[in-house]
Amino acid sequence: MSEGGASVSERPEAATAASGRAGLPPAIELRGINKSFGPVRANRDVSLVIQKGSIHGIVGENGAGKSTLMSILYGFYQADSGEVFVDGRKANIVSPDDAIAAGIGMVHQHFMLVDPFTVLENVVLGAEGGALLAEGKAKARSELQRLEHEYSLEVDIDAVVGDLSVGLRQRIEILKALYRGAETLILDEPTGVLTPQEADHLFRILASLKEQGKTIVLITHKLREIMAITDNVTVMRGGEVAANVATKDTDTEQLAELMVGRKVLLRVEKTPAQPTETVLTVTGLNVVDGAGVRRVKDVGFTVRAGEIVGIAGVAGNGQSELLEALAGIRQPASGHIRVRDQDISAEHAVDARGMRELGLGHVPEDRHRMGLVMPFAANESSILGYHYDPAYNGRIIMERQKIIDLCAAQMKAYDVRPDNPLLTSANFSGGNQQKIVVAREMERNPDLLLVGQPTRGVDIGAIEFIHRRLIEMRDAGKAVLLVSVELDEIMSLADRILVMFDGAIVGEVAQSEANEQVLGLMMAGVSPDAADEVA
């Protein structure tokens, strides 16, 4: 084990002191880990024990220190102080190579794969075992087939990675780690990119890995996942361990409270909607993407002032394209979008700026790709889409101070931290970035608000805040269209729920009639009546 560079020394008393079930030493033990970046203490005296052959969850809000901790374990960072024990022996991990040699594998949130290479080539990448590729590949092929068989990780090992789905790519990452001899697997937010079905499949794989004696560390912010598959859970808050508990002894409310440090309202309180006139009417809308594929198929619906209409569906079923067409980012191929009296169609296309001028606000699905300009200062990001507003534009000169003041006011109203309009957008946490976007779009007082995945990658405190704001918008008489892949979010916020499957709307369900089973079946393309019967 030490041949890979990790120096591992015996430390018998630790092994006995922290031994887990059946007297085995724990797979990983961290003791008193401290890590500071300048004045900021990212990890503060963190100690935890991960039992061999268990699934161990680590939860915490953005910035709680869980990624830093795992980066230390995987050798990206060095701890300022503290000790790491692997299999009861002190390990000195100073690089990912050391971690791999110590039997620790990591599946990153963003996959580290080479798209034009085949699965096999990706797996042997960095572990070719000699100058001649053919020999290493032949060896890898038989080893991979064994691993696939053993852990039911079916992938066509000769497929080109670029052609595979996200779920399959994740399996390759797991295979890569196993191929390098990982006994402990760290998965960083593994379900963030998966459909519910793919997530289920992943959990089955993790369970089978556990049965084979592997140890799994699952980093996530989704409490339901923690409850579903982990044995033990560590809650982190502000760089410290808030709790180490057995999963069976806790529940989501308690975990949420531990994470945030106060009581959290997971359900949204709201009164029944009182919709008035129709603001948005969509009829026969078709959207074709750049590759010529029809992504939105004959979609029609309405949104009235004073209601939230939710669009549910598994990611990739046309919701994104629908939202972009409504926002003026994509032009419809055919059909009509009517905002109040204004008709928009392929013949009368309106761009995003034109749509805003019709009274539309848009919180985009992806704040990194669209919502913010990361290298810009926060105040510049806070006028994205409204940069032409005469409120801060002279004939030529933009009045920067007015923009900064505007941004500062929005930051205050939406509790953005730090409330510094001059700070670069990229330097805010995910939740605060999202608040900047939400503030920008809501404070313009739009008649129609399009909202895509408003709480993706956002911590619990911010989710609560954003949800409350959406309800307030509705109650103020705005029309809100909410697109989300989080069923919980749709069910708690939307007054009416539309389900999209394969570009078309499968059906509509009122909030009062919605339940997970019915919606789940509709998301798989089953019509509402049939879904009712099955349910």
Partner 1 sequence: MAGAAANTGVPRWVAVGLLPVINLLAAFLVSGLVILAIGENPLRALAILLNGAFGYQEGIGFTLYFTTNFIFTGLAVAVAFHCGLFNIGGEGQATLGGLGVGLVLLYLDFLPFVLILPVAIAAAVVFGAAWSYLPGLLQAKRGSHVVITTIMFNFIASALMVYLLSQILIKPGQMSPESREVAQHTWMPFMHDIFPIARSPWNGSFIVALLACAFLWVFVWHTRWGYEIRTVGANASAAVYAGISPSRNIILAMVISGGLAGMLGVNEIMGVNHRLILNFSAGYGFVGIAVSLMGRNHPVGIVLASLLFGALFQGGADLAFEIPKITREMVVFIQGLVILFAGALEYLFWPFLVAVFGREADTALAAAE
Give contact residues for partner 1 (rule: CB under 8 A). 37-42, 62-68, 109, 189, 221, 239, 327-329, 351-356, 362, 364, 369-376, 380, 383-385, 387-388, 393, 396-398, 400, 418, 424, 426-430, 432, 457
User: Environment class of residue 217 by beta-carbon count within 10 Å: exposed (0-12), middle (13-18) or buried (19+)?
Assistant: buried
Q: Is the peptide bond before 418 cis (omega within 30 degrees of 0)?
A: yes
- What lies within 8 Å, CB to CB, of 367 at 6+ separation is 430, 433, 434, 437
Task: Please name the residue ranges forming H helices in 444-524.
Answer: 460-475, 487-493, 516-523
Calculate the alpha carbon distances from 242 to 44, 255, 260, 360, 499 in Å: 11, 10, 10, 42, 39
- Residue closer to partner 1 (CB basis): 201 or 330: 330
- Residue closer to partner 1 (CB basis): 430 or 520: 430
Helix (H, G, I), strand (E, B) or coil at 375: coil
CB 455 to partner 1: min, Å: 14
CA atoms within 13 A on the CB side of 194: 21
- Residue closer to partner 1 (CB basis): 449 or 509: 449
The first and second tokens of residue 136, run together, are: 């290493």
Amino acid at residue number 45: D
CB 317 to partner 1: min, Å: 21
CB 73 to partner 1: min, Å: 14
Question: Contact, 441 vs 363, CB < 8 A?
Answer: yes
Q: What span, in angstroms and rounded, lies between the C-alpha atoms of 448 and 366?
A: 19
- Residue closer to partner 1 (CB basis): 68 or 286: 68
Calculate the alpha carbon distances from 157 to 138, 202, 466 in Å: 12, 18, 43
CB 450 to partner 1: min, Å: 11
Question: Contact, 187 vs 199, CB < 8 A?
Answer: no
Among 148, 125, 128, CA closest to 138:
128
CB 94 to partner 1: min, Å: 15
- Residue closer to partner 1 (CB basis): 44 or 340: 44
Left if phi > 0, otherwise alpha if psi is -120 to 50, otherwise beta: which for 224?
A: alpha
- Residue closer to partner 1 (CB basis): 121 or 189: 189
End-to-end CA distance of the chain: 53
- Residue closer to partner 1 (CB basis): 146 or 387: 387
CB 197 to partner 1: min, Å: 24
- Residue closer to partner 1 (CB basis): 209 or 322: 322
CB 424 to partner 1: min, Å: 5
How large is the C-alpha radius of gyration of the chain? Answer: 25
Question: Contact, 482 vs 451, CB < 8 A?
Answer: yes
- Residue closer to partner 1 (CB basis): 104 or 383: 383
CB 397 to partner 1: min, Å: 5
Residues pairing with 309 in the sheet: 481, 496
CB 219 to partner 1: min, Å: 8
CB 117 to partner 1: min, Å: 26
- Residue closer to partner 1 (CB basis): 122 or 432: 432
- Residue closer to partner 1 (CB basis): 192 or 196: 192
Residues pairing with 233 in the sheet: 57, 245
Q: What span, in angstroms and rounded, lies between the C-alpha atoms of 308 and 493?
A: 7
CB 75 to partner 1: min, Å: 17
The first and second tokens of residue 4, run together, are: 């890979």
